[in-house]
Amino acid sequence: MRPSRVPEVPAGRLRRAMVAVGLLAALGAAAGITVPAAHGAQTTADEPQYLLTAISLAEDHDLDIADELAAGRWRAFHAAPLPEQTRPLASGRRLSPHDPLLPLLLAVPVALGGWVGAKLAMAGLAGLLAALLLWTAVRRFGVPPGVAALAAGVFALSPPLAVYGSQLYPELPAALAVLAAVAAITARPSGRATLAAGAAIAALPWLAVKYVPVAAALTLVATWRLQRLGGRRRALALVAGLAAAGVAFLLLHRWWYGGWTPYATGDHFVGGEFAAVGSDPDYLGRSRRLLGLVVDRGFGLAAWQPAWLLAVPALAALARRRPPGWAALAGPLLVGWLVATFVALTMHGWWFPGRQVVVVLPLAAVAVAWWAGPEGSGPEGGPVGPGGRRRLALAATGVLGAGAFLWLVADGLGGRIAWAVDVFATGYPPYRAWRRLLPDYLQMRWWTWALHAAWMLALGGWAALAWRRAGQAPPSRPEHAEQAGQGRRPSISSPPTRLRQS
């Protein structure tokens, strides 16, 4: 159900906006294909592994990449000698230590167009993500189409979403699955919506086992909301279906990989498959990532797109006003952030910044869209009120982030940077100036701690102010009131130091 103050949006107008934003996002992501992942290589790190498995699925219809490795099939997209990552199994098979759903999605594109075809397919998924983001903001959270299009365009054309729209990692498909699950969870209770939510949630572990906590959070929100809206049988069916999917996941992994996760076939987890989270994690030290994932000088979201800072007041206002469906945004987003903080091996590595949180970033983008629209702004959300100022802030910071992406593409074409190596060497003037205000968590000196404290106070104060102001606006109707008889549909709602733990 949409908030009563927001007029019904014509389906044709919404479709046109979705097509425009989706095409723009896909074209923007496709521009990143021209930038090498590493100097002299179009792909690097885990990308060749996904491509080799996709080739094997397309040609041999199995996950065994032993013949692809022996034939050097990676030379078409990886110039340097390939770190194989996988150890031979007893049968002689070699399986890449990564879950198989992404290679399965890429199998046909790889067969048709090689590594370029695979990256074009990823750009297409980026377009779908942007279109779904716009649709979810409008249909599920009552955001006007213009505001939703602004938010979807800003975040889809900026790092990290625009970058991962051409990188062969499971991050962007997982983000699409999470957003699809939220769109289904917040739909009118029905068998079709429950099935869609279950399928999207079940897909997450098959993209990467690290997404299991986010899948669990989505399951919890979905069952809780179904029960509150009288759908106990559907809630039980959802839990039973996902439990069966979980058992199948474990059994198939034991059969294929010889362990509970694909990490069992990795040649670099000397302490066993669960060493992927670190052999001796320093959880107190990792806690600084709570803030560092946003404001780190190189690997923070705001370093490349300052508009992500708007998620702080947006989420504070969302939690205070609790519009229908708010828990479907806040719950999985919180869990995903905690996983990136305390479970991920490192925040810094051979990848483009923000990789660990891409899976839940669309939820933050929807929250920002809601906050910038009339519902998030309260009764003064017009062009000269809080909503107008928020939309102006979103547009202004959005230009900076989109400019960063375009500049990085130009730098990549000129051979000055590569996506997974030295993006920090870019000459983009706003980034060169802005980074001086951000802490560098690879060098924990007194100045880093001073900036850390300053940013913690600033963002904490901003969140508190947004919380207070949200409380002054008329509260959104509680979710259980949606079923009142008002004729509406209910809603459920490079250097080695980069590899060290941070």
Output the 3-class SS for 426-492.
CCCHHHHHHHHHCCCCCCCCHHHHHHHHHHHHHHHHHHHHHHHHHHHCCCCCCHHHHHCCCCCCCCC
Tell me how far apart the alpha carbons of residues 284 and 181 are, in angstroms, rounded to a whole number: 32
| pLDDT of 96 over the 70 cut | yes
> Looking at the domain assignment, is residue 3 inside a domain?
no
| pLDDT of 350 over the 90 cut | no
| pLDDT of 498 over the 60 cut | no
Q: What is the mean pLDDT of residues 478-495?
A: 38
pLDDT of 382 reads 44
CA angle 123, 214, 115 (to 5 degrees): 25
| pLDDT of 386 over the 80 cut | no
| pLDDT of 213 over the 60 cut | yes
pLDDT of 5 reads 46
Q: What is the pLDDT of residues 441-482, one digit of tens each?
A: 888 898 899 999 999 999 999 999 999 988 776 555 444 434
Minimum mean pLDDT range among 40-49, 130-139, 141-150: 40-49
**If 0-12 CB within 10 Å is exposed, 13-18 middle and 19+ buried, where does residue 410 land?**
middle
pLDDT of 310 reads 96
Report residue 394's pLDDT band, with 50, 70 and 90 as the boundaries: very high
Q: What is the mean pLDDT of residues 104-113?
A: 95
Q: Which residues contact 128 (CB under 8 A, 6 or more apart)?
A: 22, 176
| pLDDT of 206 over the 50 cut | yes
Of the chain, the percentage scoring pLDDT greater than 90 comes to 59
Minimum mean pLDDT range among 76-85, 264-273, 347-356: 264-273
pLDDT of 489 reads 38
237: DSSP letter: H
| pLDDT of 212 over the 60 cut | yes
Domain count within the chain: 1
Tell me how far apart the alpha carbons of residues 2 and 282 are, in angstroms, rounded to a whole number: 45
> Looking at the domain assignment, is residue 156 inside a domain?
yes
> Looking at the domain assignment, is residue 153 inside a domain?
yes
**Smallest Cα–Cα separation from 151: which of 381, 389, 493, 398?**
398
pLDDT of 119 reads 95
State which residues form the domain around 85: 11-499
pLDDT of 281 reads 73
**Smallest Cα–Cα separation from 206: which of 262, 162, 151, 244?**
262
Q: Which residues contact 361 (CB under 8 A, 6 or more apart)?
A: 155, 160, 161, 175, 301, 308, 354
Q: What is the pLDDT of residues 159-193, one digit of tens each?
A: 999 999 999 999 999 999 999 999 999 998 888 99
Does residue 36 contact residue 421 with C-beta atoms inside 8 Å?
A: no
| pLDDT of 3 over the 50 cut | no
Question: Of the segments 62-76, 99-113, 264-278, 283-297, which one has the largest average pLDDT value?
Answer: 99-113
Q: What is the mean pLDDT of residues 390-396?
A: 92
Q: What is the pLDDT of residues 187-204, one digit of tens each?
A: 988 889 999 999 999 999
Tokens for 472, please give them: 């002054």
pLDDT of 280 reads 64
> Looking at the domain assignment, is residue 2 inside a domain?
no
| pLDDT of 488 over the 80 cut | no
> Looking at the domain assignment, is residue 194 inside a domain?
yes
Tokens for 485, please give them: 């008889």
> Looking at the domain assignment, is residue 471 inside a domain?
yes
> Looking at the domain assignment, is residue 96 inside a domain?
yes
Helices 101-141 and 361-372 pack at an angle, to 10 degrees, of 20
**Smallest Cα–Cα separation from 118: which of 45, 186, 173, 187?**
173
> Looking at the domain assignment, is residue 57 inside a domain?
yes
Q: What is the pLDDT of residues 248-306, one digit of tens each?
A: 999 998 888 888 888 888 766 545 555 555 556 777 888 899 999 999 998 999 999 99
